[in-house]
Structure 1
């Protein structure tokens, strides 16, 4: 009886030992997986297990990244421009307009600008064609400037997509009367000398035509053009355009009135 019990105990001990020996390889397997995981975690960023990067199709999810190709025309650089002046020529066949405007030194400069085929053109706010823009009109242009960056000698090309022309505009002038011709209904005045630092060095006399229905005042009293004398200070207003000037209002102050006003102003400011 005792011998059977001892035999059973020994069999149980041997069974436990065999079970532990068989379980050992199964427990070692996860260690191998952990090692693989650690190695992958320390792999260079952007490269998969095969060592391929984005440039050779080894991007995320096996897809090649989309390339940024930039603008469609990488050789051209475009910007916007605005210009204005007086029209001196229009060439409908060549789709160009030439305008004159003051240059850096005050002298007039001319510039020829291309006009796009689908450009919007107006004359006195009415829709028009490029050929309808008259010489002498004042114009405002806007469009794009392009240049071929690959050509070192390439010049800027201006192309207008908006042309706004007017054939008449407001006229406002002031100065000292140098001549009056009531028979011809003209008045000649000399604008004030250019301000210090201004580009225009001298003031040239300007002759304007006074309309038959123009309102004329002298020292704030109703007068006629013949009442305006040389030396008077005058302010004129009206319209100007491609057909000339027409003055509708003349406000004159006699030289005596101007002197009195100057004395009062000096006395008020404390100057003698």
Structure 2
């Protein structure tokens, strides 16, 4: 039956309680979106991906601290390039965290439904609500990326509080754009082959990793260059990049909804 399947729209609660974030999503996005969001979050926890995400964040933090400690002696020498070493450390850590916690889950947001994806065709829920619920579940990791990567790593690297603000907004720019393109492709080209674990193929993964790197460079490099000469103008440019990232996320979810409406699924 529908209620007995591993449905992306079915929620099975043991205690009948819902999380605080579910109530927030329900208030601002409606019951349908909050239902999908709740199920997606519970699915991630049931698959123990929450533990894996925590290990990923901790590993990135340890890596950045080790990398900076290993090369901090070079910072004592004069040179224009040496000023970029802390920025490179932060940028690399943010990129790895965005790929592992944002891009990869977005690409697999529809694939992990597997054979239960037929439910999309029999429930009275709009495709945009399904997409929004899944996208918001992926975005749940953004605050953790900011708190565990974007703030402490610049602090350890000796950057200023202004730089921490830049890295926090930069993390949001990278995460939103990566989630947007990931959810778009994940809805249009889901992998329902359970023999491969419903995971995206290697070529798709590498292609979108490079695309994420390209988008991050295009969106964040100009504000960074401007900030070296004028911090205020650099901040304004960064806010503009955030607006562009939100646009990518919005267009990605809209494209995902259209792709989902045209998708043929079989039970």
Question: Which has a greater percent of strand?
Answer: 1
Question: Which has a greater percent of helix?
Answer: 2
Q: Tell me the TM-score normalized by structure 2.
A: 0.19
Report which of the two structures shows the higher radius of gyration computed on alpha carbons. Answer: 1
Q: Tell me the TM-score normalized by structure 1.
A: 0.18
